[in-house]
A and B are shown apart, each in its own frame.
Chain A
Amino acid sequence: MKKLSARRRHPLAAVVVLLFALAVTGGLYAAFAPADTAKADDSAQSLAIEEGKKLYSVGCASCHGTGGQGTTDGPSLVGVGAAAVDFQVATGRMPLQQQGAQAPRKKAIYNQAEIDQLAAYVASLGAGPAVPNKDQYSPDGADIAKGGELFRTNCAQCHNFTGKGGALSNGKYAPSLEDVNPKHIYEAMQTGPQNMPSFPDTTMSEKNKKDIIAYLDTVNTSKSETPGGLELGGLGPVSEGLFAWVFGLGAMVVLAIWVAARTAKAKKS
């Protein structure tokens, strides 16, 4: 103690004391900080909402209104939830290229981070379905046969029995589901984008949705197996009949011409 006391006037004493005080303060802060992590996340969340609001004002507000209240050009976004934003923007449907019957799938113009910020902002306008996590939409371990049954009951009327899509009224159409990200299929069922009706968890359980995704993953990707050979678009008898008439009959005609054609004659000598 005497030693310490003797050095109290050392030129570096003030620095040492300062360092010690800082360490104590830091230690105390670290000890009490865990209680504050939620607050820290909150600020990250509010930061995302802030960023999302900026993106929204530039890219979306002209149709959906400055506060997401909707205008004559676009519906209100209050209560549509983060899942709807993730689906619409990540599949390129929004922002809309032009007003029309259908919002076509195209290349997304926002990256995933920006989409998450937009989703955070729109979710802050009113509660709605959240973006699903991987456990919810991953096709692993789901019942493919049950999924096929559910797909034919609920989805096949518009999207065709193997998800090839089909026509609706006045230029609208149900898009093909080939190679669509399972997350987006889940979000579409959850939120009902554009004219598609929604299939909320209350009438189609999470498990049901997973089964449907597993079915589509089996029959409707570019890697799907078609043991029977050329599937001709999976559209059923129309394309099969057309193929048989054009190529089958065409081959018959060519063979008949070959059988009946005059054979080459030797030159007259």
Chain B
Amino acid sequence: MSSQDIPEENLPHVQGDTHSSDVTKPAGDPFADPGLPPHEHRKQDIDERAASRSERMVALLFLVSMVATVGFIASYVSIPVDKIVYVFPIGHVSALNFALGLTLGVALFCIGAGAVHWARTLMSDVEVADERHPIEAAPEVKAKVLADFKQGAEESAFGRRKLIRNTMFGALALVPLSGVVLLRDLGPLPGTKLRKTAWSEGKMLINQNTLQPLRPEDVQVGSLTFAMPEGMKEEDHDFQQEIAKAALMIVRIQPANIKDKKTLDWGTDGILAYSKICTHVGCPISLYEQQTHHVLCPCHQSTFDLSDGGRVIFGPAGHALPQLRIKVNDKGYLEAMGDFAEPVGPAFWERG
């Protein structure tokens, strides 16, 4: 931008000159402090009838609040806890909840609204200017504080009794160590926990609906079944931890539609068992589309193709969905041929 575009008096050097010289101010100072505007009275300030109207309004709000509080107590006492009423547009709600919430809300709101209306219409509204004052203390106060401090230091003999001083420093230095020691609770390292699940060779696949072992003929083409390893019980203390890794979904795809040979081999007659845990951040995924054989993760839309080794076909997941190798045992039930070949769930630092 060239200096031609700017009016002469706005250029920096011109402005600097006027400030440094600070001679006569222009006659009509354009930036003079206008001060406060003259006070204007409200209607209530000059008309006693308007003022008493406002007074009645405030009192009415407080009265409504009183009535609502009485209503609150009455509803609490009289409405049975399981009564359901239809309230438009909310729906079929608990009468007690609705009445308690409404009356308490009205009671509190009316107290506040009454106070605000009171302040706005009846309390003084005269503008008041408070000048700022320096925040620095007076010199004699400062001198007194310093003298007190010196006297205190002398009386405590902090400088003279070195034993006390040094042990105090030692104590203060050691105290934070207790906090440091607590950091141990961040460990220990998970070891092989992230690599192993509850599945192992010979464990039967238990249907989570019926808690019965699954037979291959139970699993129809196009169906979806959830299974857990044999020997797990919902009342076990570590059930949630274990099922979070071992959760399994069983699908059956016509062998002709399975694109990957290894996928076909790891199942039996087109029955495939996949981990239910997304390899992105570990959401449970089982949004299975039986015509496309795709599984969608609801968290970040990672999509896996179960007919092709659980390959990622969309989304942020970095690994294919792990497949569990299964076979039919000699009693005719489906069983695992070992644990998952790779860690289930999201990747981690040492996963490799």
Which A residues fall within an 8 A CB radius of B? 150, 153-154, 157-158, 166, 168-169, 172, 174, 192, 194-200, 202-205, 208, 223-231, 258-259, 263-266, 268
Say whether A197 contacts B251, CB under 8 Å.
yes
Say whether B209 contacts A157, CB under 8 Å.
no
Give Cα A227–Cα B202 distance, bound, in whole angstroms. Answer: 48
Interface residues of B in 175-223 (CB under 8 A from A): 207-210, 214-215, 217-220, 222-223
Give Cα A227–Cα B222 distance, bound, in whole angstroms. Answer: 38
Residue in A166, A169, A264, A268 whose Cβ sees the most chain B Cβ within 10 Å = A169
CB of B292 closer than 8 Å to a CB of A = yes
Chain B residues with Cβ under 8 A from A200's Cβ? 218, 220, 223
Would you give the 0/1 interface string for B258-296, flagging 1 where the beta carbon is closer than 8 Å to chain A?
A: 000000000000000000000000001111111110101
Say whether A230 contacts B90, CB under 8 Å.
yes
Give Cα A268–Cα B42 distance, bound, in whole angstroms. Answer: 10
Interface residues of B in 145-189 (CB under 8 A from A): none
Q: Shortest beta-carbon distance, A83 to chain B, in Å? A: 14
Q: Shortest beta-carbon distance, B300 to chain A, in Å? A: 13
Contact residue among A154, A166, A227 (Cβ-Cβ distance under 8 Å from B226):
A154
Chain B residues with Cβ under 8 A from A259's Cβ? 116, 120
Say whether A208 contacts B224, CB under 8 Å.
no
Chain A residues with Cβ under 8 A from B294's Cβ? 169
Give Cα A227–Cα B217 distance, bound, in whole angstroms. Answer: 44
Say whether A264 contacts B223, CB under 8 Å.
no
CB of B80 closer than 8 Å to a CB of A = no
Q: Shortest beta-carbon distance, A159 to chain B, in Å? A: 10
Task: Given A169-B289, A203-B207, A266-B45, decide whether A229 and B90 contact each other with a Cβ distance below 8 A.
Answer: yes
Task: Given A157-B286, A227-B97, decide whether A203 and B41 contact each other with a Cβ distance below 8 A.
Answer: no
CB of B92 closer than 8 Å to a CB of A = yes
What is the interface of chain B mostly: helix, strand, loop, or mixed? mixed
Closest to B225 in A: A203
Say whether A266 contacts B42, CB under 8 Å.
yes
CB of B314 closer than 8 Å to a CB of A = yes
CB of B6 closer than 8 Å to a CB of A = no
Chain B residues with Cβ under 8 A from A174's Cβ? 287
Q: Shortest beta-carbon distance, B336 to chain A, in Å? A: 18
CB of B7 closer than 8 Å to a CB of A = no
Contact residue among B47, B94, B215, B218 (Cβ-Cβ distance under 8 Å from A266):
B47
Interface residues of B in 34-58 (CB under 8 A from A): 40-43, 45-47
Give Cα A250–Cα B84 distance, bound, in whole angstroms. Answer: 30
Chain A residues with Cβ under 8 A from B303's Cβ? 169
Give Cα A150–Cα B210 distance, bound, in whole angstroms. Answer: 10
Q: Shortest beta-carbon distance, A79 to chain B, in Å? A: 10
A–B pairs, 25, beta carbons within 8 Å: A153-B226, A154-B226, A157-B284, A166-B298, A169-B301, A169-B303, A169-B314, A196-B290, A197-B222, A197-B288, A199-B225, A200-B220, A202-B220, A204-B209, A204-B210, A227-B84, A227-B97, A228-B93, A231-B91, A258-B116, A259-B120, A263-B120, A265-B40, A266-B41, A266-B42
CB of B121 closer than 8 Å to a CB of A = yes
Chain B residues with Cβ under 8 A from A225's Cβ? 84, 92-94
CB of B98 closer than 8 Å to a CB of A = yes
* Total B residues in contact with A, Cβ cutoff 8 Å: 51
CB of B338 closer than 8 Å to a CB of A = no
CB of B332 closer than 8 Å to a CB of A = no
CB of B101 closer than 8 Å to a CB of A = yes
Interface residues of B in 43-98 (CB under 8 A from A): 43, 45-47, 84, 90-94, 97-98
Give Cα A196–Cα B209 distance, bound, in whole angstroms. Answer: 18
**Apart from A157-B285, A229-B101, what are 14 other A-B pairs with CB-CB below 8 Å?**
A169-B301, A169-B303, A169-B314, A199-B224, A203-B225, A225-B94, A226-B90, A227-B93, A227-B97, A229-B98, A263-B125, A265-B43, A266-B42, A266-B47
Task: Given A263-B121, A266-B42, decide whether A198 and B93 contact each other with a Cβ distance below 8 A.
Answer: no
Chain A residues with Cβ under 8 A from B93's Cβ? 225-230
Say whether B46 contacts A266, CB under 8 Å.
yes
Give Cα A266–Cα B51 distance, bound, in whole angstroms. Answer: 12
Contact residue among A203, A226, A266 (Cβ-Cβ distance under 8 Å from B210):
A203
Give Cα A78–Cα B220 distance, bound, in whole angstroms. Answer: 15
Give Cα A262–Cα B91 distance, bound, in whole angstroms. Answer: 40
Closest to A200 in B: B220
Give Cα A196–Cα B289 distance, bound, in whole angstroms. Answer: 6
Chain A residues with Cβ under 8 A from B286's Cβ? 157
Chain B residues with Cβ under 8 A from A157's Cβ? 284-287, 298
Closest to B45 in A: A266
Q: Shortest beta-carbon distance, B206 to chain A, in Å? A: 11
Task: Given A168-B296, A169-B296, A266-B47, decide whether A208 and B209 contact each other with a Cβ distance below 8 A.
Answer: yes
Would you give the 0/1 interface string for B215-253, flagging 1 where the beta carbon is closer than 8 Å to chain A?
A: 101111011111000000000000000000000000100
Chain B residues with Cβ under 8 A from A196's Cβ? 290
Say whether A265 contacts B41, CB under 8 Å.
yes
Closest to B217 in A: A202
Chain A residues with Cβ under 8 A from B45's Cβ? 266
Give Cα A246–Cα B49 distance, bound, in whole angstroms. Answer: 40
Give Cα A208–Cα B121 distance, bound, in whole angstroms. Answer: 66
Q: Shortest beta-carbon distance, B271 to chain A, in Å? A: 11
Contact residue among A169, A224, A231, A266 (Cβ-Cβ distance under 8 Å from B43):
A266
Closest to A159 in B: B287
Say whether A203 contacts B92, CB under 8 Å.
no
Q: Shortest beta-carbon distance, A228 to chain B, in Å? A: 7
Q: Shortest beta-carbon distance, B48 to chain A, in Å? A: 12
Give Cα A60–Cα B219 distance, bound, in whole angstroms. Answer: 30
Closest to A192 in B: B222
Contact residue among B40, B98, B101, B301 (Cβ-Cβ distance under 8 Å from A268):
B40
